[in-house]
Structure 1
Amino acid sequence: MSEYLVLLAASANRVYADAAPRLARAEAQAVLAGTGGPVQVGVEQLAGVDYLHVTTESPAAIAALSNLSATFAIFQPEGELLRPIPLQRRQFYPSDLVTIQKYQGKTNGQWTRLLLNVTATATKRPERWLSGELDVMDPMCGRGTTLNIALLAGYDTIGVDLDRKDYDTYAAFLKTWVQTHRLKHTMDRGASTTGGRARGREFTLEVGPTKEAFKAGETHRVRYLNTDTCDLDGLVRAASVDVIVTDTPYGVQHGSHGDRLSRRPLELIDRALPSWMRTLRTGGAIGLSYNRHVAATDDLALVLQQHDLTVQDALLDEFRHRVDASIDRDLIVAVKS
């Protein structure tokens, strides 16, 4: 068994920072269980600083711990001393891709990364999380927090949202960002049509971390569909996505388009799941972040089960935390058999 101490990164969000050690522990437990080998994870204080104390036989331990949402540094204890371990972080682009956008209702980036990590390692092919062979979709992507985190880690990603302002704002941001960093890229924008029927708008960004990588075809793609998430037939290829992750409408600032849907997220998810399921590969997983005040866990689990998804019961309640008085946030993960 190998032993590691993981120093957690500071969170700019005070409320999230209070819950971070507990959430990081649950994330590490889930991720390491998915990547193989028995694991024990606890929270330990050294000189007044919180660390994750991890004991595991997983051969992918260092890579997995390097890519946790809150990892700042990894050490191995040697007596009273700590030996630093080089991180094996999947990061292909500058981190300001995630941090530079500021707007009301933006989801905490650490939480989005945690949701993606836990969902990816719940699939039947959890090794794809670390190999980069992961196709990610956020079917209610807003201004692209999930898309940015997936791109940063080198995954191909698809975003869907009906809000024209979010689409335009994100397209402009991404174009400016790649130009500012002088990244070799192509960006195609146009109408989405199938069978002569207008379905909305879309853009596709293809970018490489270096000029040499772009020339060699070692690129990553972001595709954004400005269309109805409940009607993706013909727009997203069937069985082409490994992981679907999204923030469901919170019923507050994070509401969907129109007050009716923002206050009834279960109805929206129930209507959208047939469309999402057609895009998901067998063995793929869906991870939903949700507000318990507007969607009870049992009710959400029932909706997922009614669409032939297997809810991962071991993850229930492990990630629950308070965002503010109106948002009691949690996540739920389910796998397509």
Structure 2
Amino acid sequence: MPRYALLVLPATNRVYAEASIDLTRAELGVFSAAVLDGRLTDVAEERLGGVPYVTFGVAEPLGARDVAYLSQLSSEYALFELREQRELSGEGSGAPVLSPVTLTPLDQFDDDLLTIQKYVGKTNEFFTKLLLNVTVLASASAGDMLDRRLRILDPLCGRGTTLNQVLMYGWDAAGIEIDGKDVEAYSGFLRTYLKRKRLKHQAELTPIRRDRKVLGRRFHVTLAADKAAYKSGDALDLTVVNADTRRARDFFRSGSFDAIVTDAPYGVQHGSRSGGPGELSRSPLDLLSAALPGWVDLLRPGGALGMSWNTHVARREDAAAALTAAGLEVCDDTAYLGFRHRVDQAILRDVLVARKPRG
């Protein structure tokens, strides 16, 4: 049986680095179940040359498309096929030899699109990618993630970490954020980034008016990784609405998103607005109960919603019940139960993913 070893990216965040092996094992389980026909076996941590790897077996060698899927793993630094010395030379002690496997990530832009922003409360970009991956893999679009431009919404987008990862994949992104300062900060960052990288784009921040009333503001960008794509009309679309997420249906069409991905307020750095102006709750459940009907309406049939949150302020059972009450089918198989990890003393983060029925 062919065996492979995955070297995990070194994380700058020490706490996340401690959790990265277990998170990678869980993410591999989701990839295996969703797009690899469950063929990955014996996923485990193994030390090779004193360095920790995540190893796994497969009945037949990975094909090019298998590798393409695995190239999107959130914490992957390198992938190797594990062989024994005697297998290669016909002699030797049987010590493992690492044969590099060429990766084909979807990345359309330089990785500083994800790493350059630094601010209090920013979600780790590796985790953001993981959350996006496991949500899309739960959807009807899982098999299309390599081939089709998906459309992703973050209804609590903050300063755009999730949106930037969506753009990295070459997909269309949309977000909703109630904090005007966060929208302005993201607008300023992205404009500066695109100009500095000399990427062809158009960007504007305009008021949203309806019935002579201003409902919010819209930051809209069209951009492309190269001039030829932009000139041919193959530009990416990014829209951020500065408004209350409970009014999501006022700004986007029903059934227009393949997935909804969000990092819910933790009740530490951020509260969730669920009542009138200035009212903050430490629990994301109040916000979810108010916003979920609109979010679910925006999902295509077969779409998926993935959220992370602080389990210290909301139990998993209660969050799952809120998603179920909104008409979603919660993913509770083993592959989706391995993502709980500590962020700091006040935050124990978990992931919950649910699908919208196709019928």
TM tier, smaller: over 0.9
Match of 1:45 among 47, 50, 70: 47
1:64-116 deviation digits (Å, cap 9, x = unpaired): 22110000111112223211111110110011000000100100111110000
1:217-238 deviation digits (Å, cap 9, x = unpaired): 2221211000110012241111
Q: Aligned-pair RMSD on alpha carbons?
A: 1.6
Per the alignment, residue 14 of structure 1 pairs with: 14
Following TM superposition, by how much is the alpha carbon of 1:195 offset from its aligned partner in structure 2, in angstroms?
4.2
Following TM superposition, by how much is the alpha carbon of 1:317 offset from its aligned partner in structure 2, in angstroms?
3.4
Following TM superposition, by how much is the alpha carbon of 1:216 offset from its aligned partner in structure 2, in angstroms?
1.8
CA distance in 1, matches of 2:44, 2:109: 31
Q: Secondary structure at the match of 1:130?
A: coil
Per the alignment, residue 291 of structure 2 pairs with: 272
CA distance in 1, matches of 2:56, 2:210: 51
Kindly, what percent of the aligned residue pairs are identical?
Answer: 42
Per the alignment, residue 77 of structure 1 pairs with: 82
1:35-92 deviation digits (Å, cap 9, x = unpaired): 1322222221101111121223675321122110000111112223211111110110
CA distance in 1, matches of 2:258, 2:179: 25
Q: Secondary structure at the match of 1:62?
A: helix
Per the alignment, residue 297 of structure 1 pairs with: 316
Q: Secondary structure at the match of 2:31?
A: helix
Q: Quick check: 1:192 aligned with 2:208?
A: yes
CA contact (8 A) 2:223 2:235 kept: yes
1:247-266 deviation digits (Å, cap 9, x = unpaired): 11100013335774341310
CA contact (8 A) 1:241 1:281 kept: yes
Paired letter, 1:108? N
Per the alignment, residue 89 of structure 2 pairs with: none
Per the alignment, residue 56 of structure 2 pairs with: 54
Q: Quick check: 1:318 aligned with 2:320?
A: no
Q: Secondary structure at the match of 1:233?
A: helix
Paired letter, 1:229? T
Per the alignment, residue 33 of structure 2 pairs with: 33
Match of 1:231 among 233, 247, 251: 247
Paired letter, 2:67? I
**TM-score normalised by length of structure 1:** 0.96
Match of 1:104 among 96, 120, 125: 120
Of the structure 1 ranges 132-141 and 57-66, higher mean CA displacement relative to structure 2 is found in 57-66
**TM-score normalised by length of structure 2:** 0.90
Paired letter, 1:208? A
Following TM superposition, by how much is the alpha carbon of 1:125 offset from its aligned partner in structure 2, in angstroms?
2.3
Q: Secondary structure at the match of 1:294?
A: coil
Per the alignment, residue 87 of structure 2 pairs with: none
After TM superposition, what 4+ stretches of structure 1 lie above 3 angstroms from structure 2? 56-60, 194-197, 256-262
Q: Secondary structure at the match of 2:98?
A: strand
CA contact (8 A) 1:261 1:267 kept: no
CA contact (8 A) 2:3 2:83 kept: no
Per the alignment, residue 331 of structure 1 pairs with: 351
Per the alignment, residue 91 of structure 1 pairs with: 107
Q: Quick check: 1:131 aligned with 2:147?
A: yes
Structure 2: runs of 5 or more not aligned: 85-95
Structure 1: runs of 5 or more not aligned: none
Q: Quick check: 1:149 aligned with 2:165?
A: yes
Following TM superposition, by how much is the alpha carbon of 1:309 offset from its aligned partner in structure 2, in angstroms?
0.5
Match of 1:219 among 226, 232, 235: 235
Q: Secondary structure at the match of 1:127?
A: helix
CA contact (8 A) 1:250 1:262 kept: no
Paired letter, 2:184? D
